[in-house]
Amino acid sequence: MQAPAPPPVIDIRKVWMAFAKPSGEPLPVLAGIDIALPEGEILGLLGRSGSGKSTLLRIAGGLIKPTSGEVLYRGRPLAGPAEGIAVVFQTFALYPWLTVLENVELGLDALRLPLDVARRRAISAIDLIGLDGFQSAYPRELSGGMRQRVGFARAIVSDPVLLLMDEPFSALDVLTAETLRTDFLDLWIERQLPTKAVLMVTHNIEEAVLMCDRIIVLASNPGHIAAEIRVPLPQPRDRLDAAFHGIVDEIYSILTSRMTEAIGAQARIHGGLVQILPQVSPNRIGGFVETLASSAYAGQADLANFARPLALEINDLFPIAEALHILEFAELKEGAIKLTAAGRVFAQSGTEERKRLFREHLIRFVPLAAHIRHVLDEREEHRAPRARFEFELQDHLNQGDAEKTLRAAIDWGRYAELFSYDDETRTFALDHAAG
């Protein structure tokens, strides 16, 4: 990079973030993040839910103050939301009681413009984003795609230098999302926007490769930068291009290798009790295994190829893959997934046989489930309160993960008839079926 470049639009330096747990202890969500976003770049933050990417975006927008570290906006420390930074929200965040025009004007409220100037600018933003004719409509009259267009118009109306986008297309259906993406990219490439840089959060790998110049992969617990990938392809990009595929595959394999490492590491310490279980219903596991075992894949597939026709995003795909890997029904390696022998048997079996197999694997590979069963077996009355295991888990995991893990264990244990659980009394028990 050339030496006399202008300062980065946003410069995140050694940022740490921790929220307070109900118990008062800090719960770290971001650890030592360093990101500089130069002018002219679209930077993607990619990661699974819980990796802190949305928190990072809000820190960049001044909506949240980091616990430590600093954020420089064009070389100056950022204290709260600043002029020149605009946010596009995943949920659109439109005010339902204001019309499209009024919603867009809202983006100008802080600028103290005369009423007529504000109106003129709002109308030209609406025109630019392809909403003309809808000025007087209320958000509830619009489709999701049109609503997000209002979100975009509202963000660009104030001529922001930095545009922050928090999963802007993830609440839209596949086709609408694609149109909106290309429309936005057209504006960006043709330099119709005064915006100098874009920071975008996404959990859609192809979307990231399609739009971004650089992608930062965040890993969880606590969120940190796992990898940084440049996307040197010229715009507009072609999803069918081999180079495009290469980058998508690379990201998949980065993510899978991180995941298998983490699973392996968790299994080795504290007798496996620190293992975080993904919340995936046995039905989804079954469906996934069947699809993978079908003639289309014959038991193995690149995750990228598997995800595309099913339009699975990483938040759908990875938890299932993770569950299969933990239960050793499948093995993840370098962005590919392959059924194990047990996985193939599972795919062919009927309900009872599946449950039996699932139970075996649950006891062997999920120490928490085995532990719950063991405690119930030991106790004379074969009952144990949920709180007992909650406390045990919270020694090693943060509260959210402990809760999630326990819920997954309950779901799997119930399916496998390893134990039963009564939510009214919050107790585990062995019932005769499981005995």
Measured between alpha carbons, how far apart are the two ends of the chain, in Å?
67
Residues in 362-381 that interact with other proteins by CB under 8 A: none
> Of these, 15, 30, 86, 406, which contacts other proteins (CB under 8 A)?
86
- Residue 367 vs residues 267, 269, 364, 370, 401: alpha-carbon distances, Å: 8, 11, 7, 5, 16
Evaluate whether 413 touches 419 at the Cβ level (below 8 Å).
Answer: yes
> Of these, 21, 97, 264, 364, which contacts other proteins (CB under 8 A)?
97
310-332 b/e with 16+ CB inside 10 Å = b?
eebbbebbbbbbbbbbbbebbbb
Residue 422 binds other proteins, judged by CB under 8 A: no
> Of these, 50, 139, 343, 413, which contacts other proteins (CB under 8 A)?
139
Which C-beta is closer to other proteins: that of 166 or that of 249? 166
Which C-beta is closer to other proteins: that of 26 or that of 81? 81
Which C-beta is closer to other proteins: that of 93 or that of 310? 93
Which C-beta is closer to other proteins: that of 46 or that of 164? 164
Residue 77 binds other proteins, judged by CB under 8 A: no
Strand-pairing partners, residue 234, are none
Residue 236 binds other proteins, judged by CB under 8 A: no
Evaluate whether 292 touches 285 at the Cβ level (below 8 Å).
Answer: no
Evaluate whether 26 touches 19 at the Cβ level (below 8 Å).
Answer: yes
Minimum CB distance to other proteins, residue 114 (Å): 10
Residue 305 tokens read as 């190829």
> Of these, 36, 124, 137, 138, which contacts other proteins (CB under 8 A)?
138
Minimum CB distance to other proteins, residue 45 (Å): 17
Residues in 108-127 that interact with other proteins by CB under 8 A: 109-110, 112, 115
Minimum CB distance to other proteins, residue 136 (Å): 12
Minimum CB distance to other proteins, residue 157 (Å): 10
Which C-beta is closer to other proteins: that of 111 or that of 310? 111
Farthest-apart Cα atoms in the chain, separation = 79
Which C-beta is closer to other proteins: that of 112 or that of 432? 112
Which C-beta is closer to other proteins: that of 3 or that of 115? 115
Residue 79 binds other proteins, judged by CB under 8 A: no
Residue 89 binds other proteins, judged by CB under 8 A: yes
**Which of the ranges 80-88, 190-198, 256-264, 330-338 carries the binding residues for other proteins, by CB under 8 A?**
80-88
Minimum CB distance to other proteins, residue 362 (Å): 25
**Which of the ranges 43-51, 137-145, 230-238, 336-344 carries the binding residues for other proteins, by CB under 8 A?**
137-145
Determine the angle formed by the axes of helices 282-293 and 303-310, rounding to 10 degrees. Answer: 110
Which C-beta is closer to other proteins: that of 108 or that of 362? 108
Which C-beta is closer to other proteins: that of 47 or that of 107? 107
Residue 348 binds other proteins, judged by CB under 8 A: no
Residue 96 binds other proteins, judged by CB under 8 A: yes
Which C-beta is closer to other proteins: that of 111 or that of 189? 111
Q: Compute the distance between CA of residue 60 and CA of residue 38 in angstroms, rounded to an integer.
A: 14
Residue 91 binds other proteins, judged by CB under 8 A: yes
Site string for other proteins, 35-74 (x = CB under 8 A): -----------------------x--xxx-----------
| CB burial of residue 307 (10 Å; 0-12, 13-18, 19+) | buried
Minimum CB distance to other proteins, residue 163 (Å): 11
**Which of the ranges 89-97, 178-186, 261-269, 303-311 carries the binding residues for other proteins, by CB under 8 A?**
89-97
| Binding stretches for other proteins (CB under 8 A) | 58, 61-63, 80-83, 85-87, 89-98, 106-107, 109-110, 112, 115, 138-141, 147, 158
